[in-house]
């Protein structure tokens, strides 16, 4: 692993020395809605909404960030007054979400979703755009899955939108994300397939401004590993598709939308 990464897992559970569960959100909150305005994942919320009951529901989002997905949820469920709770570890992200002035039936909570979740039961718990892979390790994933299983209603569904791991694209990588006359953003990343971890930094240079580092760390799991870990906590796979609209999932799908329910339902 590269020298700039933490060498000891105990010192650097996320693979970068000094990185914690708040680092991603705190580092990206000011640019997130701008940089990720063109994300092509609207099908995910459409798929979540398609499974919701035709009455007011209780819905929880893990890693709500700036509230991007809750905005879509509210638009699609405008005829209902669902209880919607979004949890995030970063106050900076939640501050952007609060700026959206959500209605009073939306609650935003600052907490680590692998350690604590609001009381259930929930008809739906969802985690979009690879956010589950923000967790540092399998212990954190298992803790999160245990909480999710406890908080789902008997017919509730846990929805995950996640990228398919690309174990062939290993090693260090540098690309240009943005280049204007006034600004350059370099994307620098390092992929360790043995650890199933990709760590990176966006390095932003703005003419006349200070250099800005925006670190990120992704610990990914394969769909099969997710199924096994979910099963440990009584969650069974209900469906898996290549997107939120029901596209067939194949070994070459770039992402998967997986839905779990408590066993025996």
Q: Which residues contact ligand SAM (rule: CB under 6 A)?
A: 21, 24-25, 63-65, 68-69, 87-90, 93, 112-114, 128-129, 131, 134-135
Asked if residues 108 and 98 have their Cβ atoms less than 8 Å apart, the reply is yes
Least Å distance, CB 115 to ligand SAM, is 8
197-206: strand order across its sheet: 171-179, 183-192, 197-206, 212-219
Q: Which is nearer to ligand SAM, 24 or 260 (CB)?
A: 24
Least Å distance, CB 146 to ligand SAM, is 14
Residue by residue, DSSP assigns 35-70 as HTTT---HHHHHHHHHTS-SS--EEEEES-TTSHHH
Least Å distance, CB 89 to ligand SAM, is 4
The DSSP symbol for 253 reads: -
Q: Which is nearer to ligand SAM, 187 or 205 (CB)?
A: 187
Q: Which is nearer to ligand SAM, 134 or 190 (CB)?
A: 134
Least Å distance, CB 259 to ligand SAM, is 17
Distance CA 147, CA 144 (A): 5
Q: Which is nearer to ligand SAM, 135 or 160 (CB)?
A: 135
Least Å distance, CB 21 to ligand SAM, is 4
Q: What are the respective helix, strand and coil percentages of the chain, to the nearest 5? A: 25, 35, 45
Q: Which is nearer to ligand SAM, 122 or 129 (CB)?
A: 129
Asked if residues 67 and 102 have their Cβ atoms less than 8 Å apart, the reply is yes
């Amino acid at each position: 692993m590269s020298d700039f990464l933490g060498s000891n897992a105990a010192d650097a559970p996320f693979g970068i020395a000094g990185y914690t569960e708040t680092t991603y959100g705190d580092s990206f909150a000011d640019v997130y809605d701008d940089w990720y305005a063109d994300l092509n994942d609207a099908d995910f919320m459409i798929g979540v909404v398609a499974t919701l009951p035709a009455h007011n529901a209780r819905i929880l989002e893990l890693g709500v960030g700036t509230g991007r997905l809750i905005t879509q949820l509210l638009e699609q469920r405008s005829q209902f007054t669902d209880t919607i709770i979004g949890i995030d570890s970063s106050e900076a992200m939640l501050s952007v979400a609060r700026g959206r002035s959500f209605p009073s039936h939306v609650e935003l909570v600052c907490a680590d979703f692998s350690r604590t979740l609001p009381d259930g039961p929930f008809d739906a718990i969802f985690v979009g755009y690879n956010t589950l892979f923000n967790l540092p390790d399998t212990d954190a994933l298992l803790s999160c899955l245990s909480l999710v299983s406890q908080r789902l209603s008997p017919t509730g569904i846990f929805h995950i939108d996640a990228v398919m791991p690309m174990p062939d694209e290993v090693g260090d990588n540098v690309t240009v994300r943005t280049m204007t006359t006034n600004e350059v953003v370099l994307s620098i990343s390092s992929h360790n397939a043995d650890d199933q971890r990709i760590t990176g930094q966006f390095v932003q240079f703005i003419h006349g401004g200070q250099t800005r580092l925006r670190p990120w760390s992704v610990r990914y799991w394969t769909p099969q590993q997710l199924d096994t870990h979910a099963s440990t906590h009584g969650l069974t796979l209900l469906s898996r598709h290549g997107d939120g609209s029901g596209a067939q999932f194949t070994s070459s799908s770039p992402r998967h939308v997986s839905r779990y329910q408590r066993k025996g339902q």
